[in-house]
Chain A
Amino acid sequence: MTAQIIDLVRENVIQGRVTRDDEGIEEGMVGQPGVTELIEEALDSGVNIADIITEGLTASMEAVGEKYENEEYYIPDMLASAEAVGVAMELLEPHLARNGIKPKGKILIATVKGDLHDIGKNIVSILLRGAGYIVKDIGHDAEPGDIVNAVREEKPDYLGLSALLTSTMVNMEEIIKALKENGLRDKVKVIIGGAPVTQEYAESIGADGYGADGFHAVAVVEALRSGKQPFS
């Protein structure tokens, strides 16, 4: 029973099916349980949560990554699978602490003040959730003060900032200054990204990392998590 549910979770993550209404890639899957229904069933059945995460979610994302590398999958497929994992993690989150499982990390993410462009930030959110992180998204056009308050309250390990415009990009520096002024700068790693942002700019304003795209952003977070220097 346990093995069967985990197999189905893995298969449905690979298919990118969040609920029973999703099509997936193969024909005839609509109506069959998706990741949401399967995780709920696994929790009801008392399936070991660590097994769900490692054998179901992590293993399936590794398979998805291989398919992407082999050009069998495209970015929309990766995102669909990542979204399925993100939904699964949200369902599992309340049960993690009691099962002695520590999440990989918590990330606060926002598009900075004056900028309404949030497609990139949303994609990064999905991919980070898919990689097993807890993501708190505070939206777009976010005031520096609101971001500082959220860092204080949520106590994230990482802060992701996004901007599409050169005119709004400068607000990233303001946020880092505000974190310093509030004694929070050393409590959180700041990663920035967006079309006008460069690694040089990230270094110049004292950010901890720069994500060139969604996949790179995940890699940068993973590097910071393992204590590596993402700028090297």
Chain B
Amino acid sequence: MPREGILIENPIERLSGEQVRQIHGASIDILNDPGLLCFNKKAAEVFQANGAEVSAISGSGTPCWGVKIPENLVAGALESAPKTVKLGARNPDNTLIMNGDEPRVFFITGSETNIWLDVDFSTYVSKTDPSKEVKVPEFKPRRGTVADLCDSAHVCEQLETVDGYIRTVNIQDKDITEDNKDVNKFFACLDNTTKHVMSGLTSLKQLDNVVRMAEIIAGGPDKLKENPLISFITCLVKSPLQFVDDTTETFMEVCKRGLPIVVSSSPQAGTSAPIKEAGIMAQINAEVLAGITLGQLVNRGTPVLYGSVPVRARMDTLGDSYGSVETSQYNIDCVQMARFYKLPNYSTSGVSDVKIPGQQSSIERLFSDIVVTMSGPQFLHCAYGLLDCNSVFCLLQAVLDDAHFKMIKFFLKSPRINEQEFNTVKKQIKEVVATPQKMFINYIRPVMRSGEISPPYPFEAEGEVDSVFALANERLQELRAKPVEHIDPETTARIFREVPGLLARLNVHKGDG
């Protein structure tokens, strides 16, 4: 049985049907004129061979082509792109089935941060009353390592609301190079979680090694097709409207292999896209459509997700502001556009602008998590643990986010209003009003045990103190102590024999037997 996710019965929509069609029309216009700049020769050739107007652009010193994509190419791609995408998993019970026209949301981690945030608790004593002590969390940033990635994947395996895993931290160990990063990154994830694993690629040269690793785990190439336990994400289009050479190359190679891939675009309203909502929406939609079109031209029927990571610029620094309200608006608009095309959507919420967990972090992430979830994206790249935009990852924050998502999932359950319920409660009311105490407490018990009552916030302290961080940290340590469900010794041995570049220290079975 695949994971259930949460079905949004009445997804919120900001755009009218007319506005959706207007955005689509504006995007088609943009794809025609000015079109895209393409820095990848093969992609330009693919477009040209399929009827796009392609012209060499000289003068920049870098080979570049102007590509004007006609509407019929886009329409053909939207027709051939699968409307249902399956993301498999090492444990098949963790499979995710995403239907483009069904607003069933799956919560997935992300993104690849450079900084790992450790947390430690120091005790401070009041100067005026030494009997008063308070424990204060202290956050210490450092470069992420492959051991951190294993730790993160293992904890996220235990977090109930996490449906799938995007690598959360960039591995920057001394023995990690461009040539071995991808295999170690994927292996660290796959060996520590049985959920779906998605990642980007650092080096195209490693693609076949990564695919080989996944085939060994799945049980062969055909089994991997049936159970695509890995998928990829590429930002092939850099805003505004530019096919980047290397990521476009990677994208096309993944498409040829038929593994699921996210066509992701991340324009920033105000700098790399217009500040006006109509502008960033027309542009991001054009950029994603361009990527989907290329993917379908390379390999008809290759599974793609409509990937949207729009963000508004901060007015003080012109950096990203994921915490801004407009960022959630853009994401919800994109969910609606993907649904218009009946394609599964990869959307974003829960990213905070602040550098450490705290009140700002909680407010920003919970706001966007609620509203974007309610719009019904299928793949909600919901930034468990992400801070400082996409720069910092903190496992303590991920544990706190899990509690947020439990509340959101509970809130989105269907109303329990029907004739049978009314018959039951009318009987209860009649019985209770006839008693001297007039209390319904006796009827709580079966409901409480059926899971129909939301659980209390798990990190609530007793008395007039706030112990959220300390209690969440206790929970984190409990999760860390749980056994890891590693890949079995035989499969691991085969992976280490057949896939070059893996770090020996990642083989937990080394020395067994």
Q: Give A contacts to B, CB under 8 Å.
A: 16, 22-23, 25, 74, 76-77, 79-80, 83, 119, 122-123, 125-126, 137
A76 interface neighbour in B436, B437, B438, B444, Cβ under 8 Å: B444
B441 interface neighbour in A25, A80, A125, Cβ under 8 Å: A80
Question: Cβ of B441 and Cβ of A79 under 8 Å apart?
Answer: yes
Surface stretch bound by A, among B314-322, B381-389, B445-453: B445-453
Smallest CB–CB gap between A214 and chain B, Å?
A: 11
B444 proximity list for chain A (CB < 8 A): 76
B420 adjacent to chain A (CB < 8 Å) = no
A137 proximity list for chain B (CB < 8 A): 436
B445 proximity list for chain A (CB < 8 A): 16, 23, 25, 76-77, 80
Q: How many residues of B contact A (CB 8 A)?
A: 11
Q: Give B contacts to A, CB under 8 Å.
A: 436-439, 441-442, 444-446, 448-449
Question: Cβ of A74 and Cβ of B439 under 8 Å apart?
Answer: no
A16 proximity list for chain B (CB < 8 A): 442, 445
Shortest Cβ-Cβ A-B pairs, 10 listed: A76-B444, A122-B437, A76-B445, A76-B441, A79-B441, A23-B446, A122-B439, A80-B442, A77-B445, A80-B445
Interface SS of A by simple majority? helix
B446 proximity list for chain A (CB < 8 A): 23
A80 proximity list for chain B (CB < 8 A): 441-442, 445
**A139's closest neighbor in chain B, by CB?**
B436
A126 to B442, CA, bound (A): 12
Question: Cβ of B448 and Cβ of A125 under 8 Å apart?
Answer: no
Question: Cβ of A76 and Cβ of B439 under 8 Å apart?
Answer: no
Smallest CB–CB gap between A43 and chain B, Å?
A: 24
A123 proximity list for chain B (CB < 8 A): 439, 441
Smallest CB–CB gap between B455 and chain A, Å?
A: 11
Smallest CB–CB gap between B424 and chain A, Å?
A: 12
A137 to B439, CA, bound (A): 15
Question: Cβ of B449 and Cβ of A25 under 8 Å apart?
Answer: yes
A5 to B191, CA, bound (A): 57
A16 to B442, CA, bound (A): 9
Query: What are 19 A-B interface contacts by the 8 Å CB criterion?
Result: A16-B442, A16-B445, A76-B442, A76-B444, A76-B445, A76-B448, A77-B445, A79-B441, A79-B442, A80-B441, A80-B442, A119-B439, A122-B437, A122-B438, A122-B439, A123-B439, A125-B437, A126-B437, A137-B436
A102 to B42, CA, bound (A): 97
**B431's closest neighbor in chain A, by CB?**
A21
Smallest CB–CB gap between A108 and chain B, Å?
A: 15
Smallest CB–CB gap between B209 and chain A, Å?
A: 49
Smallest CB–CB gap between B100 and chain A, Å?
A: 42
A74 proximity list for chain B (CB < 8 A): 448
A125 proximity list for chain B (CB < 8 A): 437
A76 to B441, CA, bound (A): 6
A119 proximity list for chain B (CB < 8 A): 439
B449 proximity list for chain A (CB < 8 A): 25
